[in-house]
Structure 1
Amino acid sequence: MSDAKRGFNTLQIHAGAHPDPATGARQTPIYQSTAFVFRDADHAAKLFNLQEVGFIYSRLTNPTVAVLQERVATLEGGAGAVGCSSGHAAQIMALFPLMGPGKNVVVSTRLYGGTVTQMTQTIKRFGWSAKFVDFDDLDAIAAAIDDDTRAVFCESIANPGGYITDLRAVADVADRAGLPLIVDNTSATPYLCRPIEHGATIVVHSTTKYLTGNGTVTGGVVVDSGKFDWSASGKFPSLSDPEPAYHGLKFHETFGPLAFTFHGIAIGLRDLGMTMNPQAAHYTLMGIETLSLRMERHVQNAVKIAKWLEADERVDYVTYAGLESSPYYGRIETVCPKGAGALFTFAVKGGYEACVKLIDAVEIFSHVANLGDTRSLIIHSASTTHRQLEENQQRAAGADPEVVRVSIGIEDADDLIADLDQALSRAVA
């Protein structure tokens, strides 16, 4: 039976993995090796010339990482994937084959604060730029695209507010412009949302979050849909034109649906070195085995807690898309039918100071700069993850000074409510 016919629960355990041929080990081993022995000189030459697939050096390819790449690509419905060192590395890796000096990317205003900084500041050093647009305004997205635009970028469920993007509508805008849509699917995971089914070209993840699920290692992955024609417009010469480093090889002509993936390994990892280590891949593989079970509990708890917060007189508002009062509630059925995730914000009466007091008063919630853990996490984004932004940028991203962000874990929901209850009492006293 092919993977295409198997269910998600089966694939999250088995996709990409086979018993170790040398030992029979059932769990994927950690191949903690820098390099791999070639069969002979001809074998080595073919590997380096991209004429044969195999393992050379762990900056490029590693057997443990390869299993993770295949598993995530399968769960997302993609053609291939490239593992890398972090979610931020994945974003640069996704843009790298597409961009060039003077080129721009059109991005959503609702992004993680670190991504906003990466897009506003860091990419300038490559000669790239970003145009920020409210992705609820499709006409504004289309208007922002010009002759130098090379991609459109958004999050499926945006961090920190939990807003749901209308991926199909955004993909249609990108398609009309002949551009790839890159979707950060970290907050949703492929269990809740599969962006490629909604028209996305490329999906990126911080595997640090829900995919690993236990707050142990950092990592990222870039998944290619394999559906974009990189040679159609002449806008993507890295993929369509002869590559000098490989004797004029044309990635799209040679590798077809896997062109973007092969470029990510043969050029991206080779030269940028944003490599995932095999131990991190191993931890993430173990985490993915329980992804569906965890996401079901995450969502179940988030709905219960968000409803309780919305009814509490000490709270001004809750941004969770799983509430019927949310303007994004109607998108759940089409974009993420298994639930709106477990990440959202709520505004505390008393503003910034009350938020700080709340953070200091929680007992079960952990005050950390992470999300997607089995543990429930809380942070005041305006003073931490989004601190480097101006207040208007914070509000555009959903990180208003008067809100705290919560990542709801898989503990007993009643215990989490009790913790928030006592902390709110102290915060607004």
Structure 2
Amino acid sequence: MSDNNAPGFSTLAIHAGAQPDPSTGARATPIYQTTSFVFDDVDHAASLFGLQAFGNIYTRIGNPTCAVLEERVATLEGGTAALAVASGHAAEHLVFHTLLEPGDEFIAARQLYGGSINQFGEAYKKFGWNVKWADINDISTFKNAVSDKTKAIFVESIANPGGAITDIAAIAEIAKEAKVPLIVDNTMATPYLCKPFEHGADIIVHSATKFLGGHGNSIGGLIVDGGTFDWSEDGKYPSLSQPCASYSGMVLHETFGNFAFAIACRVLGLRDLGPALSPFNAFMILTGIETLPLRMQKHSDNALAVAKYLKGHDKVEWVSYAGLDGDKFKDAASKYCPKGAGAVFTFGLKGGYDAGVALVSNVEMFSHLANIGDTRSLIIHPASTTHRQLSDEQKTTAGAGPEVVRLSVGIEDLDDIIADLEQALDRI
């Protein structure tokens, strides 16, 4: 690589953040399976605890294996820094813990993973954090939801389960006008398909459990700081702009600049709430990321072919996949996800709820489970599982009505994927 040419995505997916182990020469990033780290001396310990130096203290706060994962994902997303945590839900929670005070509001798209809808609408009430819902099909609903209590806007780049493509740039304009950060969950797209920072996002979150890890074997989450938001402009974000009692009055934004948000999530949120990622899971997710570009392209190519097959099936009422010609999100997919519209989409069966239950009961190669992003093809009937806790109106709004089936199309041979769906559809 010359100094004038930045490495490509596939190269970064393998090498970013990693070096041979300096002690042993090990090429793969080691699993630093330790709780704590020895200090050089008292002064070294004091500088670490006082945030005057970077280094390892305790694996709940940071770990060398996790650090490689953080640098790799920050590099792939084009951010300034990242924080690895125990799950995607933990990533969301630490973001809002850093941004919000009791009584504050944030705006979230209705088109979200059902677990996030429940987390935002129910669990966060206990913290005094209030969500106002908006609709990505009507961008004006985001603008109309802004109030003097609004502290953030949250969307998914590709919405789960429906596969809708969010107009990130349009919502980013609303966030900038309101002087609040735009948070984008990029789990479904990954940085291979979509780069939210290039379209105005300020913070990115991931459930690394899904496509980043890619093999259905490890749970994890990531927060990526875009380094683009001015946390000190108007005093809305005291965790970043006001003296911090935990660190002798240090002002985190003043001290750490364009990666202050990632630091705050680590030294205030992760330190005190504790959802640390295990070094072993970090290792597994790192290994998965090495093949991310290969897998995401195969996922997307297979998903498009499966969507075309289902669109022509006489037991299927509709197919919602942004890669299809004529889909209402096709233009958005071309703008935000030019390499493909991802692996996950929904379709509706003419037989409604009972047909959906029958289909997931009769597949053989597809796995009926509550996950996405595996190398294996996965299927679920959201109305009876992931979105079961929602009202009928909420299910329909979230794209999880009674007739809806969600697929996460894997990287198996395409003929085998279609054959399994065909035999299951025949048995309805």
TM-score range, shorter chain: over 0.9
Give the Cα–Cα distance (whole angstroms) in 2 for the partners of residues 110 and 277 of structure 1. Answer: 30
Partner of 2:259: 258
1:3 to partner: Cα distance: 11
TM-score by length of 2: 0.99
8 Å CA contact 1:36, 1:55 repeated in 2: yes
Please list the CA deviations of residues 33-82 of structure 1 after superposition, one character each: whole Å capped at 9, or x if unmatched: 00000011000000000000000000001000000000000000000000
Please list the CA deviations of residues 401-421 of structure 1 after superposition, one character each: whole Å capped at 9, or x if unmatched: 101100000001111111111
1:80-99 matches, within 5 Å, as 80-99=81-100
Structure 1 residue 24 and structure 2 residue 25: aligned? yes
State the identity %. Answer: 56
8 Å CA contact 1:3, 1:11 repeated in 2: no
Partner of 1:115: 116
Partner of 2:69: 68
Give the Cα–Cα distance (whole angstroms) in 2 for the partners of residues 97 and 356 of structure 1. Answer: 41
Change (3 A) 1:130 1:4: farther
Q: Which residue type is aligned with residue 202 of structure 1?
A: I
1:4 to partner: Cα distance: 8.0
After TM superposition, which residue ranges in structure 1, 4 or more long, deviate above 3 angstroms? 1-4
Give the Cα–Cα distance (whole angstroms) in 1 for the partners of residues 136 and 418 of structure 2. Answer: 33
Partner of 2:360: 359
Give the Cα–Cα distance (whole angstroms) in 1 for the partners of residues 335 and 374 of structure 2. Answer: 26
Question: Can you give the 5+ residue segments of structure 1 that lack an aligned partner in the other structure?
Answer: none
Please list the CA deviations of residues 106-142 of structure 1 after superposition, one character each: whole Å capped at 9, or x if unmatched: 0001000000000100001100010111123222111
Please list the CA deviations of residues 371-423 of structure 1 after superposition, one character each: whole Å capped at 9, or x if unmatched: 00000000000110000000110111111110110000000111111111110
8 Å CA contact 1:160, 1:398 repeated in 2: yes
Give the Cα–Cα distance (whole angstroms) in 1 for the partners of residues 233 and 216 of structure 2. Answer: 42
Partner of 2:349: 348
Give the Cα–Cα distance (whole angstroms) in 1 for the partners of residues 264 and 85 of structure 2. Answer: 14
1:332 to partner: Cα distance: 1.5
Give the Cα–Cα distance (whole angstroms) in 2 for the partners of residues 182 and 395 of structure 1. Answer: 24
Partner of 2:101: 100
1:276-315 matches, within 5 Å, as 276-315=277-316
Give the Cα–Cα distance (whole angstroms) in 1 for the partners of residues 360 and 122 of structure 2. Answer: 29
Structure 1 residue 326 and structure 2 residue 327: aligned? yes
Give the Cα–Cα distance (whole angstroms) in 2 for the partners of residues 192 and 396 of structure 1. Answer: 25
1:217-236 matches, within 5 Å, as 217-236=218-237
Most deviating of 134-143 and 242-251: 134-143
TM-score by length of 1: 0.98
Please list the CA deviations of residues 221-246 of structure 1 after superposition, one character each: whole Å capped at 9, or x if unmatched: 00000111000121111100000111
Partner of 1:240: 241
Q: Which residue type is aligned with residue 114 of structure 2?
A: G
Partner of 2:167: 166
1:203 to partner: Cα distance: 0.2
Change (3 A) 1:193 1:255: same
Structure 1 residue 208 and structure 2 residue 226: aligned? no
Partner of 2:373: 372
Most deviating of 3-12 and 144-153: 3-12
1:48-63 matches, within 5 Å, as 48-63=49-64
The CA RMSD measured in Å over matched residues stands at: 1.0
Partner of 1:78: 79
1:17 to partner: Cα distance: 0.2
Question: Can you give the 5+ residue segments of structure 2 that lack an aligned partner in the other structure?
Answer: none
Give the Cα–Cα distance (whole angstroms) in 2 for the partners of residues 298 and 4 of structure 1. Answer: 29
Q: Which residue type is aligned with residue 413 of structure 2?
A: D
Partner of 1:145: 146
Query: Secondary structure in 2 aligned to 1:373?
Result: coil
Q: Which residue type is aligned with residue 136 of structure 1?
A: N
Structure 1 residue 197 and structure 2 residue 198: aligned? yes
